[in-house]
Amino acid sequence: MSDAAIPYTVAIRPDTGLNNVKLGIWLFLSSEVMLFGSLFAGYILLRTGNPNWGAGTELVNVPLAALNTIVLITSSVTMVMSWVAAMERNLAKLRLFMGTTVGLGAVFMVIKAIEYHEKLAHGAPPSYSTFIACYFTFTGLHALHVLGGMCLNFYFGFPGAKMMKTNPQQFANRVETAGLFWHFVDLVWIFLFPVLYLLNFNTPAGH
Amino acid sequence: MEHIDATDQLDSHSQEELRKHVRTYMMVFGGLLVLTLATVGVKYMHLPVVPAILVALAIALIKGSLVACYFMHLISERKLILILMLATVFFFFGVLLGPTLTELNEINPLHH
């Protein structure tokens, strides 16, 4: 294995004015925007072309989804406070905020599981209707992102936090990068919430 | 807002900058909570379809902008990142609207 260090993880590249990590995460987030954009495009097409769209819209749980929105927004604040802690090189504070962020992510997943159980208990699996299929696809993909973010944040909050002592600058960059992903996940939910839960105007057309 | 890079020394100046950041985050947090309640409130006002869609998406857009600008530091980010995001937004709307606009003659209108 080569011992060559990866260049520009902390130092600024003269040509881009950024370190490679920052440019890399924004390029990745751009690809994520296109991924969710394609799903939203499919949703619009199915929504406008389906006269029986209403089937299953009555099953969404708006209060639980609103609670999940608040949980995720709060986790974004604790995430950004983790970055502040990394900048201050305060390990105890970092662990407190990262732990809270991961915990709030877990709360989000539990609430989501309750929602899924409600649908399935009502006899509404993804095959129930086009809307329910979209609901499970969107929220399932989003939940996978939440799970990925939780793993990342747990690593940087606990086993990976050792780097704060050896290379605090690079560690703060890593926490910021993990934060950018987490905020993106929050941002996606901000749009999923009205689209899936609030903008259902059709009366149920039956299964 | 001045962007703090991790390469900076954590001197008294950047400590003050961090305190400013924290104050901003708390204000943005409050704004996001109020807007979330407003979004849910609009749902129960039973507005007609088009105004309801416009209001809900406008609130989501404001909330999304707050998260991107302040939590993701886009407001103080380098020009290259801003150009990248503008290009992403352009292609996002292309992907979003392209299929629907090209299929307009084939699909039914919204059913109320």
Q: Provide the 8-state DSSP code for B108.
A: P
In B, which residues are within 8 Å of A168 by CB distance?
6
Q: Which of residues 181-200 of A touch B (CB under 8 A)?
A: 183-184, 186-187, 190-191, 193-194, 197-199
Q: Which of residues 30-69 of B touch A (CB under 8 A)?
A: 32-33, 36, 39-40, 42-43, 49, 52-53, 56-57, 59-60, 63-64, 67-68
Write the pLDDT tens digit of every residue in A15-54.
999 999 999 999 999 999 999 999 999 998 888 888 778 7
Angle CA(A119)–CA(A73)–CA(B3) in degrees, nearest 5?
150
Distance CA A188, CA A194 (A): 11
Write the pLDDT tens digit of every residue in A170-198.
999 999 999 999 999 999 999 999 999 99
Q: Name the stretches of chain B with pLDDT < 50.
A: 1-4, 6-9, 111-112
Distance CA A98, CA A160 (A): 12
Angle CA(A154)–CA(B6)–CA(A93) in degrees, nearest 5?
40
Tell me: ipTM over 0.95: no
In B, which residues are within 8 Å of A48 by CB distance?
100, 107-110
Please name the residues in contact with B28: beta carbons below 8 A apart, sequence gap of 6 or more.
B66, B67, B70, B71
CA distance B109 to chain A (A): 6
Percent of chain A clearing pLDDT 70 (strictly above): 95
Distance CA B43, CA A201 (A): 10
Q: Does residue A206 register a pLDDT over 90? A: no
Count of C-beta atoms within a 10 Å radius of residue A110: 12
Percent of chain A clearing pLDDT 90 (strictly above): 84
Angle CA(A178)–CA(B14)–CA(A156) in degrees, nearest 5?
20
Distance CA A169, CA A172 (A): 5
Superfamily the domain A20-49+61-198 falls into: Cytochrome c oxidase, subunit III, four-helix bundle (1.20.120.80)
